[in-house]
Amino acid sequence: MSAARPLPKWADIALLPLLNLALAFVVSGLVVLMIGQNPIDAMAAIVTGAFGNGFNFGYTLYYTTNFIFTGLAVAFAAHAGLFNIGANGQAYIAGLGVILVALALQYTHWTLVMLAGIGAAALFGGFWAFVPGWLQAKRGSHVVITTIMFNFIASALMVYMLNRVLKPASSMGPQSETIAPSGQMPQLGDFFAPFKSTPVNLTFFLAIIALVAVYVVIWRTKFGFAMRTLGHNPVASRYAGISNSRMIMIVMTISGALAGMVAVNEVLGVQNRLALDFVADAGFVGIAVALMGRNHPIGIALAGLLFGALYQGGNELQYVIPGLDRYMVVVIQALVILFTGAMEGLLRPSLERTFMLFSPEQKAEAVKRETATTES
Amino acid sequence: MDYQSILSLLDATIRLSTPLLLACLAGMYSERAGVFDIGLEGKMLAAAFAAASVAALTGSAWLGLAAGMGVSLMTALLQGAAAITLKGNQLIAGVAINMLAAGLTTFLGQTWFQQGGRTPALSAGGRFTPITLPFAEELRGVPVIGPIYYDLISGHYLLVYVAFLMVAVTAYVLFRTRFGLRLRAVGENPKAVDTAGISVVKLRYQAVIITGLLCGLAGAYFSIAQGSGFGNNMTAGKGFIALAALIFAKWKPVPAMFTCLLFGFLDALQIRLQNARLFEIEIPVQAIQALPYVLTVILLAGFIGKAVGPKAGGVPYTKER
């Protein structure tokens, strides 16, 4: 075995994800090049489309809000060693809870609608994740497969609900009634002129609160310590007297509740009604965000912004460069997941070697350690 | 329901279960060897696109099929590189491949053909045509048996017969050959296989390659046999149904065939049941659509038997130092 030494912490947290991200961009650039377009122009168009002016930036923040929630949902579960692939379904079902309370309370006041909506989203989204959690904890079924199945079940259920139950008699399309103006949440553009007529709304602040809250829960509470113990070593956590099954259920529920906040942003903040497939693929982007952000709230905030910008920039792309559309962004996203998640081992060995090259002491130390273990 | 409509329902069942069966058998090789594959959907989608594109450009269904299998194979090797060589997370690799296929097929389709992500409609030579088995016409008049042979057994695409043949082949390969024994062993206990001097990496790559080729067949079926061209996201979650079928069949070939037929039947039923009523109660089509997923969840929870996958599934193998 070569005398490899673990990377310094900063390289592991920041440098490696950035290199992987760069790799994903290079490969995406090759795809753009393949169809005869200039990747630099495309990149410039995405950046301008995302940050060019207040209007574009408002859209970027609106997408970012969704991705922070789904990123947090995936990351939260990941700390307990669970891979929640069902944020999409959880957010979708949460939309049902949101619209039900919103329609019930729409003539009161928007603050009431918002608070009740947040609660309902957490409840419905949390429930849709609790069931897979319960099934894993008590019946031993794998949470990944169950959450995949739950995504599809949610989708079928919502098509039914929107077509048969929530669709008002006057409407042709599968969507719910629109919330009355008295129950609609204000947009940030109402207070802050540059964001005028963009969909970024108060939920953005909820996302920031969620980031802080998740940080506190994971790293500053006994509960967070217990869940990280479970994630690192389930056997040790059981011997330490932690109820693993109870932990799995709670963590999955919180994860689902976080995913459910996407429904607050979309249903209460922007669309004011429940529409078919309103989650788009925010749940899957959340996987990329969590991987990119190394499951840390600061990382997730940055990765969420990155993907929000990519999304918004990608939407603008088609107007600037004909032939390139937002599906290019799906490709970039997939490559980011591939390189930062699945092929993380690609660059690590060479990076480790590079670091060793620049630090003879570390190399000596590593060699010493290596020989010590082989002799013993 | 008369005899003829029952036959046509069963005929549709066979047509709809074919891609499921091919994808399900594909997943079986990979998962039996210890590589979890939630990227079946992506491989099929990529293959469907490649098959339709090449068939549209060359006018040859066979070249289309070859292209579909080739692209699916490349996707499988990508997954193999991530999951086997780089010891990455197999589930995340699958998610990435699904997303990559969804993005690239739409994007490239739009760029190359300018038809909103669709490929041009295929000419007659670019598609597989149904095969009429020998004596089908002659036997057609024979009561009861004649229509079964003519409508149900004869008159399918080549890939349909290949799919059902693959059930027997897979059963033989997995349970009657040395390769199959080793393949199953590497999914249960890779260390033992390694100790016996057999390369874990090589075996797993072989399994992943077979998965890729079979997914290629499944994908091509969508676009150049059943359909006449590629449409945006045309596999529509069938890869996940195949995954559900794989679990439901407990990773065994013959049960896989029956499960895929069952899921295909549900699909065929669902198309016919639009607005149908049973005992004055309207059955929501969505309930039938969701049934395969619900059944899988119930099965996984151990309420109707227990589905235990290969023990070493999902874990990259690292040699001991």
CA pair distance A99, A271, nearest whole angstrom: 11
Each residue's pLDDT tens digit, B81-103:
998 989 888 888 998 999 999 99
Long-range pairs, B199-207, Cβ under 8 A, ≥24: B200/B317, B201/B84, B201/B85, B201/B317, B203/B33, B204/B33, B204/B34, B204/B35, B204/B80, B204/B83, B204/B84, B204/B317, B205/B77, B205/B80, B205/B84, B206/B33, B206/B179, B207/B29, B207/B30, B207/B32, B207/B33, B207/B35, B207/B183
Does residue A374 have a pLDDT over 70?
no
- Amino acid B222: pLDDT: 93
- Amino acid A5: pLDDT: 62
Contact B263, B17 (CB under 8 A): yes
- Amino acid A1: pLDDT: 41
User: In the structure encoding, which two tokens stand for residue B280, read together?
Assistant: 């004055």
Interface predicted TM-score (ipTM): 0.88
Confidence grade of residue A347 (pLDDT, cut at 50, 70, 90): confident
- Amino acid B264: pLDDT: 92
Each residue's pLDDT tens digit, A192-246:
888 888 899 999 999 999 999 999 999 999 999 999 999 999 999 999 888 999 9
CA pair distance B74, B85, nearest whole angstrom: 15
CA pair distance B268, B12, nearest whole angstrom: 6
- Amino acid B251: pLDDT: 92
- Amino acid A258: pLDDT: 97
Is B276 in the A-facing interface, judged by CB distances under 8 Å?
no
Indicate yes or no: CB of A1 within 8 angstroms of CB of B321. yes
In this prediction, what percent of chain B has a pLDDT beyond 70? 97
Kindly list the residues from chain A whose CB atom is less than 8 angstroms away from the CB atom of residue B97. 334, 338
Cβ-based neighbours of B5, under 8 Å, separated by 6 or more: none
* Cα–Cα distance list, A355 to A5, A361, A371, B110 (Å): 9, 11, 20, 44
In this prediction, what percent of chain B has a pLDDT beyond 90? 47
Q: Is A200 helix (H, G, I), strand (E, B) or coil?
A: coil
Indicate yes or no: CB of A333 within 8 angstroms of CB of B244. no
CA A191 to the chain's CA centroid: 27
CA pair distance B200, B188, nearest whole angstrom: 12
Confidence grade of residue A376 (pLDDT, cut at 50, 70, 90): very low
Kindly list the residues from chain B whose CB atom is less than 8 angstroms away from the CB atom of residue A337. 92, 95-96, 99
Average pLDDT over residues B264-289: 77
Higher-pLDDT residue of A88, A9? A88
Is A343 in the B-facing interface, judged by CB distances under 8 Å?
yes
- Amino acid B125: pLDDT: 77
- Amino acid A34: pLDDT: 85
* Å between A240 CA and nearest CA of chain B: 26
- Amino acid B162: pLDDT: 93
Across chain A, mean pLDDT equals 89
Q: Please tell me the pTM assigned to this model.
A: 0.89
Average pLDDT over residues B291-314: 82
Question: Nearest-CA residue of chain A relative to B291?
Answer: A153
- Amino acid A371: pLDDT: 66
Each residue's pLDDT tens digit, A300-328:
999 999 999 999 998 888 888 877 878 88
B:206-245 residues touching chain A, CB 8 A cutoff: 237, 240, 243-244
Which residue of B92, B295, B321 is the best one to mutate when testing the A interface, meaning the one whose CB has the most A CBs within 10 A? B92
CA pair distance A327, B136, nearest whole angstrom: 47
Indicate yes or no: CB of B106 within 8 angstroms of CB of A345. no
Q: Give the nearest partner residue to A142 out of B90, B117, B300, using CB atoms.
A: B300
| Beta carbons within 10 angstroms of residue A13's beta carbon | 16
Q: Give the nearest partner residue to B89 out of A35, A284, A341, using CB atoms.
A: A341
Does residue A366 have a pLDDT over 80?
no
Higher-pLDDT residue of B257, A1? B257
In this prediction, what percent of chain A has a pLDDT beyond 70? 94
